[in-house]
Chain A
Amino acid sequence: MSDTLLQIDNLGVDYETARGDLKALRDITFDVNRGEIVGIVGESGCGKSTLISSILRLTAPNTRFRQGEIRFKGQDLLPLSERRMRALRGEDISIVFQDPMQTHNPVLTIGQQMLDIQHRSKASKAEKRARAAKMLGAVGIPDPEARLDQFPHEFSGGMRQRIAIAMALMSEPDLLIADEPTTALDATLEVQIIERLQELQQQFDCAILFISHHLGVIAELCDRVVVMYAGAVIESGDVREIFHNPKHPYTRRLIDCDPGHIKTRARVLPTIPGEVPDLANLPEGCIFRDRCDQALPCCAHQVPPLTQLQEGHRAACWLNHEEVSA
């Protein structure tokens, strides 16, 4: 039985800027089931970060939620008061941020910070400390009891990211958001962190929303994947299906550009020519049209809808509509 945990429905988010409203997210629709790992992939500036800060509502002051719903366990989060949102953060939904070097407070010990985030627990200080040490042990920090008294700068980047994961899992959340947790780390550490995350996901049985632009990691870790481009979902589905049978030209080009997929020796690495459209002045029709080598006449004036092609596979491209492309 698939039990929906997070359901994002038709979400539209704007940034109010001096140049006018920047349509950072448009018609975002996807869901995350309990215990499932969903990857979000897309290039920088495609709205991944806006999306996760919207889920936790840790958005900049100039953010405006234009439309749609973010339902968590069936309840729409957008109308919730700040106080009720705060009760969810770090309790039901936790997050691991991108840069482990700046994610902890530099003047407080790791132990103090791990104690502070248990502010909802009624346990004694000694019990909270024991729990913190246990979590550090679970993510593979040796001698956790002694290391609780150390400051963040006394740990390496990989260790700090593991501490961040330990902190995020401390409350046994239903949903863990991982915002490019391995981007700032080198390749060996990346593998370690991914393996650790996989183990812990089994152990804690939480759903993970994994944001990355590294396709190899997504393929390794995720059950399903959502491909974003310029603030919109352009394709989503089962990870194997998406990688073997992409139905959107952008997804196809993205896979072609992944260094892991390049088999022949090349002087110049493949890229997708062109630029992401200006989100303050969106062009008519398909947002990928200018960079697409298979564009059809209808792409210029009609936005392709995100349509279901088969069970669990959706794409937003006119090429999948025989009546148009034929």
Chain B
Amino acid sequence: MLQYALRRFALAVLIVLVAVTAMFLMIRAVPGDPVQIMLGPRATPELQARLTAELALDQPIWRQLVIFYGNLLQGDLGTDVFSGRSVTNIVFQQLPHTLSLIFASILWSAALGIGLGAYAAAHPNTLIDRMTAAISVAFVAAPAFVVALLSLLIFAVNLKWFPAIGVGEGIWDKLDHLVLPAFAIGLSWVGYVARLVRASMLEVMGENHIRTARAFGISEGRIVLSYALRIAILPVVTVIGVGMGFLLSSAVFAEIVFARPGLGKLVIDSITTRNYPIVMGSVLVSTTLFVVSTALADLINAWLDPRARSEN
């Protein structure tokens, strides 16, 4: 298990390296002088020269890459062109807001989705199963920003149940501010996870080992919970791991609609102001987040499934 974990993390590091390098090269392949865009048309040649030197844009591209990785290894992502603050600081200040939003969304949507899916699979073709199916499809089809706007209108403006904007102060106030955005971006996942668990569960319940468990008089509840769900959950874990990436992009919508500080809002703001060091920094962190979450999903799968452990 330990060996598997080490190998999996080595792969994760490699993926981040490749992704970040590609991103670094792509950003420099975009036509136009970044210094001119950042400083505007009326900047003096001296100022332009200073920024060019600061961003090492006068060096050959391989050299720039070496400098970037050199700084990165020292935990330095560069400085914000406008405020002069360190990018690392800015990004890590925003990160907890986005992380709490993503975890809250995953937690409630996976819990509800697994419950609904398992129930639907245990009672296939009943009224509740059909209702779950219809609602699931509706949830999956609803885009996060539409749900965000509608829930803002209904629950914050009309019903005044939850605050409309910001992240709040203190733990309870923060949780209060988290409800609507987490609801908005988690909703489509409820349906998705429920469909996935139902299909996976029905497949597992038809397998021979379930018939064996039944032939030994083990109760149906125990068969579902400890014999079938543990296998049926495996594809869901993988999907949630990959889904972190999608949630990161839905988080952008939620952060804009609910005016929440966070990684998504940071990226959007820095792109509109052409603040390249911040774009690089926040995209690097999101890439790492995505890769770590897929690696974690694989590890959880290996922990749940002894066959996956010994295969590799």
Contact = CB atoms under 8 A, between A and B. Distances in A.
Interface of A: 56, 58, 86-91, 94-95, 97, 99, 102-108, 116-117, 119-120, 151, 153-154, 164, 167
Interface in B209-249: 209, 211-219, 222, 226-227, 230-231
Interface of A is mostly: loop
A120 B216 CA distance: 10
27 contacts: A56-B215, A58-B211, A58-B214, A87-B217, A89-B214, A89-B217, A90-B215, A90-B216, A90-B217, A97-B208, A97-B212, A99-B208, A103-B208, A105-B209, A105-B212, A105-B227, A106-B307, A107-B231, A107-B305, A107-B306, A119-B218, A151-B306, A153-B306, A153-B307, A154-B310, A164-B212, A167-B216
B169 interface: no
B217 A106 contact: no
Contacts of A120: 217
A99 B209 CA distance: 10
Interface of B: 207-209, 211-219, 222, 226-227, 230-231, 304-307, 310
Given A103-B209, A106-B307, A108-B227, 8 more contacts: A58-B215, A91-B217, A94-B215, A97-B211, A97-B212, A105-B212, A105-B227, A164-B212
Given A104-B212, A107-B230, A107-B231, A86 B219 contact: yes
A128 B24 CA distance: 61
Nearest to B124: A61
B310 A116 contact: no
Contacts of B217: 86-91, 119-120
A88 B215 CA distance: 9
Given A102-B209, A107-B304, A117 B310 contact: no
Contacts of A164: 212
Nearest to A102: B208
Contacts of B209: 102-106
Contacts of A86: 217, 219
A105 B231 CA distance: 9
